Every structure is written in structure tokens, then in C-alpha cells.
Amino acid sequence: MTIDDCRWTQLPNDFIDQGGIPLIGPTATCVYWCIARRTKGWQKESDYISYSQIHDMTGFSSATISKAIRTLSDNDLIGILVNRGGTASYRLIVQTPTTSNSEVPLFKNCSGTTSNSEDTKETLKETIQKKERSTVDFEAEIKKIQQNEPYIETAQLLLDLCLEEDPNCVVKRKREATVASWADDIRKLVVYDDRDLEVVGDVIVWIKRGKSKQANFWRPVVRSASGLRRNFPTLFPQYFEEYEESKKE
């Protein structure tokens, strides 16, 4: 490994100074650094990051990554936005003091401030209720991300082959979100329509690179995972017929 000393990723000083590492543990700290790299390191406020990308940077399993992300979210260190396809957009949460003399803790469970005012009690009640709702949403969102992870590679294959035909079919800034959305469609094709994932990948290659009349017909028709799923009952028998014929040769 060669490290270039001219390129760095900024991290909040308070994360270290306020005891962030012992508070959340080394595993969540590694994931925090990965998110910082993919956001602040690329001068972005947020970025779509898959579990497989975090795994490549850390070597952690999906279960370990999920637990770390939950820890970061519970401590208000990261914000999470999950799109309909199941890919999560992460951002670092950095709190700004309202006055020069006030101290705003980086971690909400490090605060010892209390108040007897009714307004504060009501605000605290609303905060607790909001947190309870967000916890339920968080669990559902993380579950959706994990469900779609096995289908990301096949979705990426379809996108890559579509881009070979038309480099402008999906704008660059939307490609990660597109892969996530397509992974959800492919999951439905496998789980709900009872199709084999490996066979789905073979069919995609047949459509996009096959030389037969049938493959040429389907090539401009199938330009998304939803289109693949919609037409699969019709196109699969044609693929299978060619597959059986090729075995006889």
C-alpha cells in the first residue's frame, strides 16, 4: 500500500476530543471514517453508499455494518436517507453552536443539560416520540438495503450493458440510485416470480449481446430492470429454446 501525503479527508475534531472512539467503538468508528471519505473526502454533503462498498473498505460483514450504522445514527453522527430502490444516502451530522459561549455536544447522550420549564418538557416529549418513529423507519430502511444487496451485481450488469448501447441512457450522477432501484426490481423477479438469479444474469447477457433474431428484438425493448421483469415471461422461453439448441451443437 502506497499512501500519498498530499490527499487527506477531514474529520471533525470534536469526534476525537469528546471521546467519540471509545463511545461508539472501533467498528462504528471505521464505518464513520468510510462515510467521511465518501462525503467530505469528495467535497460532497452526502453520497449513496452500499454495504458492499463499505465492506470493500473495511472487510466487515453486512450484519456488522448494519450494527455500526445503527450506532452512528443513534448518536446523531450520521443522517440517512433511503431512496425507493433501497440505496442509502449518508451524510455526516455536524452541529453548530448558536452562540460563542454555548457548548453543543457532538453526541446527544453526552449532554447533562436539564430544565424544569414546561416548554422544555414538551419539547423533550416530542423528541422522544419522534425518535421512536424514526427507530421503526430505520429498521425498515436497513432491512430493505440488506434485501437488495445480493441483486446489486446483476443490476450493475444490466446497467453496464445498457450504457454500452447508449452512454446517455442514464446520467452519471443518477447511476448509483438507478442500480439500487433496478436491484429491487430484480429481487422481485427472483423472489416473487420464482426466477433463478444466475439465469436472470444469463438472460441479460443474451439480450444485450446475443446475435439471434430474438435477442435483437428484445435488445431495444429491455432498457431497465422493470422492463426485464415485465417481459420475462415472454422472452425467457425464447432464450431457453436457444440455450437448448446450443447444447446440441
Is 243 domain-assigned? Answer: yes
Q: How many CB atoms lie within 10 A of CB 192?
A: 9
Question: What number is the average pLDDT over the span 53-64?
Answer: 86
Supply the pLDDT for residue 29: 93
Is 115 part of a structural domain of the chain? no
239-247 mean pLDDT: 87
Which neighbouring-strand residues pair with 91?
Answer: 79
Looking at the fold, whether 87 and 173 belong to one and the same domain comes out as no
| Choice between 231 and 1, residue whose per-residue pLDDT is larger | 231
Higher-pLDDT residue of 50 and 163 is 163
Which grid coordinates are listed for 122?
414538551
* Higher-scoring residue by pLDDT: 144, 222: 222
pTM of the model: 0.49
Range of the domain at 30: 9-94
Better pLDDT: 173 or 155: 155
pLDDT of res. 233: 94
Residue 106 in domain: no
pLDDT at 171 over 50: yes
| pLDDT digits 0-9 by tens, 183-224 | 889 999 999 999 999 999 999 999 999 999 999 999 999 999
Within-domain flag for 158:
yes
Give me the torsion for CA of 197, 245, 229, 179, rounded to 10°.
Answer: 50
* Domain end position, chosen among 66, 94, 122: 94
- Shared-domain flag, residues 87 and 154: no
- Mean pLDDT across the chain, nearest whole number? 79
Residue matched to cell numbers 450506532: 71
Instruction: Please tell me the total count of domains within the chain.
Output: 2
Q: Residue 92's beta-bridge partner residues?
A: 78
Min mean pLDDT across 82-86, 93-97, 103-107, 243-247 is at 103-107
How far is it, in rounded angstroms, from Cα 54 to Cα 70? Answer: 14
Report pLDDT for 247.
77
Using 50, 70 and 90 to split pLDDT, how confident is the model at 14?
confident
141 within domain boundaries? no
- Asked whether residue 49 is domain-assigned, the answer is yes
Grid cell, residue 186, equals: 430484480
How crowded is the C-beta side of 226, counted as CA atoms within 13 Å? 4
pLDDT digits (tens, 9 = 90+) for 93-140: 886 554 444 444 455 444 333 344 455 445 544 544 554 444 445 566
| Assigned domain for 119 exists | no
CA 29 to chain centre: 18
Residue 86: pLDDT over 50 = yes
